[in-house]
Chain A
Amino acid sequence: MALSNRDRARLSLGLQAGIFIAVVAVLIAIIDWGAVQSSFFDLENISGMFPEVITVGLWNTIRYTFFGFLFGLIGGTLLALMRIASFPVYRWVAAVYIEFFRGIPAILVFIALGFGASLAFNLNLSTLQTASTALAIVGSAYIAETIRAGLQAVPKGQMEAARALGMPAWRAMVTIQIPQAFRIVLPPLTNEAILLTKDSSLIFVVGMAGSAAELTKIGRDGILQYGAGMTPLVVAGVCYLLITVPLSMLARRMEERSPGKSSRRRPKKKATESPVTAGVK
């Protein structure tokens, strides 16, 4: 006898709920919750980390990421323009840069910059400079591809209309194509900022003074300070979420109302005709 669709849906829901309850019950039974709490959620450790985890750690993470993203955005835009330039050497240089830095682990860039800059260029970079430069170098490679895709997603007719009006190529690029491309790439760029926020933790391989410590360093120092418990890492992790979750919500909201989604379609409701229109006929 065949089940109706509704019965089948109800059965499926019941089955899923049953499995869930069973798994939760098993977890409750086998896990030593006291041990978990003392190693991951030790209240004394948590209160001991404030306010430094916010005033130093979160603040430095935001600073390093902000400048890394800002310079990455500038570099990425330049690379994207090089990538679509008519002069072939620009295209090749940009392509090699992008492939190279997207292809290697970001941590290599942090190490090379953190230990190599003083050797090779006799530069003494601060932690802020090292972290944001490394993030900019890596980020610009990813951002360049995002922006190139955005520029190419602007309909060809936009550039043609601008040129047909007599705008020089650079002017059409600056006033017509780039502003539209930015609207298209805003959601993926926000995701890029999330990735950079997490990558800023890589600066810990270089080491830094206490006042320059970002979240991961604060978390690791906390572990050494308080003993074997992992609570400081949990606190640091929650602080990362304070940055990344709002960014990710922002990206999703922008995606939902992105211009490309609605403007291609005809508006459903016709704009009201002005009274003057009648005179035109």
Chain B
Amino acid sequence: MSADTAAIPAGVVIENLRKSYGDNEVLKGISVTVDPGEVVCLIGASGSGKSTLLRCVNRLEDPNSGRIRVGEFEVTHPDVNLDAMRRKIGMVFQQFNLFPHLSVLENCTITPRRVLNQDRAEAETEALHQLQLVGLEDLADRRPAQLSGGQQQRVAIARALTMKPSLMLFDEPTSALDPETVGDVLAIMRDLAQAGMTMIVVTHEMGFAREVADRVVFMDQGKVVEEGAAEQVIGAPTAPRTQDFLRRVLNPLGE
């Protein structure tokens, strides 16, 4: 399989990002850079702020201060065209969030048609192409509820790709899946990475991070504690908190 990404991959610059919910400061000055075409995996304990960081990148959350740039878009600028910017940033959620009242095909055509004003034939051709790349064009007429979790997540990826994004954000895309379907989704993400997509992936799949990620960023309590090549951060972490976290993830029973 070769995923073609018609859009030019975008780079991401995050500078000193801070975000609080009330008195609870969740992001305490995060700075991360992602080069165009690079794949960065975000790892860290529950509650460390990974999702919040990811959701700031497409402004599902508004940061309190700091700066984010995605390709040509000044994401944190008050005058940024949020909708135009989001069309260039695909997002895949842990719970898939497919539209249950629409067929698989309609899930993939609704935004190109209603937002990009593509005509039906054009949108369907592209949607079927994307569905074929995730191996699901035969299920185009089904409702999401008739699909397994893994199939739903693959549709969600295809849906995001129909918008020809320059950056893909994944928030624990395989955490809600049955173990036997995790591999299909990870394989598609790997292919997408090899096709040159810029990706930020929150995941607990250390095997995927090792194989696919160019870099791994370890977050703890709203801060970046360690970052570097996957082999280094996962294979030979230097910070004690990274070592502790990886020990618990790789060996949950502590034996």
Given A280-B184, A281-B187, A165 contacting B136 (CB threshold 8 A): no
B250 interface residue per 8 A CB criterion: no
- Say whether B135 contacts A271, CB under 8 Å: no
Tell me which residues from 147 to 206 in chain A have a Cβ below 8 Å from any Cβ of chain B. 155, 157-158, 160-168, 171, 175-176, 179-180, 183
Q: A164-B60, A267-B145, A274-B139 are in contact. Are A281 and B114 (CB under 8 A)?
A: no
- Nearest CB of chain B from residue A262's CB, rounded to whole Å: 7
Q: Is B228 an interface residue (CB 8 A)?
A: no
- Decide if the interface of chain B is mainly helix, strand, loop or mixed: helix
Whole-angstrom distance between the Cβ of A276 and the nearest chain B Cβ: 4
**Chain B residues within an 8 Å CB radius of A262:** 145
With A175-B110, A263-B145 as contacts: A167 and B115 at CB distance below 8 Å: yes
A161 touches B97 (CB 8 A): yes
Q: Choose among B137, B148, B188 the residue that contacts A280 (Cβ–Cβ < 8 A).
A: B188
Chain A's interface size range is 20 to 34
Q: In the complex, are the beta carbons of A267 and B134 less than 8 A apart? A: no
Q: A271-B151, A274-B137 are in contact. Are A161 and B101 (CB under 8 A)?
A: no
Asked if A277 is at the interface of the complex by the 8 Å CB criterion, the answer is: yes
Per a CB cutoff under 8 Å, which of A171, A263, A276 touches B115?
A171
A183 touches B101 (CB 8 A): yes
Q: Is the CB of B145 within 8 A of A168?
A: no
User: Which chain B positions have C-beta within 8 A of A179?
Assistant: 101
User: B135 near A165 (CB under 8 angstroms)?
Assistant: no
Instruction: Tell me, in angstroms, the Cα distance from A166 to B86 when the chains sit together.
Output: 5
Q: Does A257 sit within 8 A of B, measured CB to CB? A: no
Residue of A162, A164, A279, A280 touching B58 (CB-CB under 8 A):
A164
> Is B99 engaged at the interface, CB distance under 8 Å to the other chain?
yes
Interface string of B25-65 (1 = CB under 8 A from A): 00000000000000000000000000000000010100000
What 10 pairs across the A-B complex have the smallest Cβ distances? Answer: A166-B87, A161-B97, A274-B138, A157-B97, A164-B91, A276-B135, A166-B86, A277-B135, A263-B145, A165-B111
